[in-house]
Amino acid sequence: MKGNRNRMEKVCREALDAGYAPQEILNKGLITGMTEVGNAFSRGEVFVPEMLMSAKCMTTALDLLKPMLVADASASLGRVCIGTVQGDMHDIGKNLVKIMLEGNGFDVIDLGSDVPAETFVRTAKEEKCDIICCSALLTTTIEEMRKVVEGCKAAGIREDVTIMVGGAPVTQDFCDSIGADIYTDDATAAAKAAVQAMENRQRPA
């Protein structure tokens, strides 16, 4: 939570030199640490600035480990496209979710902010994404999430993707009303839900 990026890189290199596998560093070190930060955030013990500092440290570590993780095909849990919906420029929450997803082994395509529904749909179809994550902070923009769901239906990929929604004005009732699959209220919960969604997809019916 102190956000010491230089220290983070040094610790990761020391762990690699000591013989720890990149996946072990990710799972037992980075994810465990970031999950605790996320839990502390949920309890109101830390706030957005501390979350962002921790997230930057996580990014530093992932930048170091990612080439080694990518070399192992099994390291990728699934592919996600994520973005803030059209009309909404806020991206702090989206960025935190992205980092948590990457930390949990997902290949994440970041579409940025102010993303049209058709861009979510086209990217999911072309990149064969398993999950679409839509974020919004403004009440006036959340209806764009409905367009993503409808767009996936029109493109014939609705059954192939899990659609996750989140952001301050979003609720479980809204998620249900637009036909999205998953609503979560913070980055830690989003990452856990994404992992569970992939496990459910891989489990025989």
Please compute the mean of the pLDDT values over residues 150-159 and round it to a whole number: 98
User: Contact at 8 Å (CB) between 142 and 168?
Assistant: no
Of 51-55, 76-80, 175-179, the range with the lowest mean pLDDT is 51-55
- Given 35, 50, 75, the domain boundary residue is 75
Residue 55 has pLDDT above 90, yes or no: no
pLDDT in tens, 140-150: 999 999 999 99
Element (H, E) at 162: strand 162-166
Do 64 and 129 lie in one domain? The reply is: no
pLDDT reading at 204 higher than 90: no
Residues 111, 22 share a domain: no
pLDDT of residue 74: 57
Residue numbers of the domain that contains 30:
1-75
Point out the domain boundary residue: 25, 45, 75: 75
How many Å apart are CA 157 and CA 166, to the nearest integer?
21
Residues 6+ apart with CB under 8 A from 9: 60, 61, 64
Please check whether residues 115 and 172 belong to one and the same domain. Answer: yes
Residue 123 sits in the same domain as residue 182: yes
pLDDT at 73: 46
| Residue (of 159, 136, 137) closest to 149 by Cα position | 159
pTM, entire model: 0.75
Angle at which helix 5-17 crosses helix 48-70, to 10 degrees, equals 30
> Once rounded to an integer, what is the mean pLDDT over residues 34-51?
83
- Mean pLDDT of the 196-201 span: 93
Report the domain count for the chain. Answer: 2
Instruction: For residues 100-115, give the mean pLDDT.
Output: 91
Distance, in Å, from the CA atom of 181 to the CA atom of 161, rounded to the nearest integer, reads 9
Question: Which of 12-26, 43-57, 92-106, 151-165 has maximum average pLDDT?
Answer: 151-165
* Higher-scoring residue by pLDDT: 155, 63: 155
Q: Are residues 103 and 49 in the same domain?
A: no
Distance separating alpha carbons of residues 85 and 41, to the nearest angstrom: 24
Question: Same structural domain for residues 70 and 130?
Answer: no
CATH number at residue 62: 1.10.1240.10
* DSSP H helical ranges for 32-160: 32-42, 48-70, 92-103, 117-126, 143-154
CATH code of 103's domain: 3.40.50.280
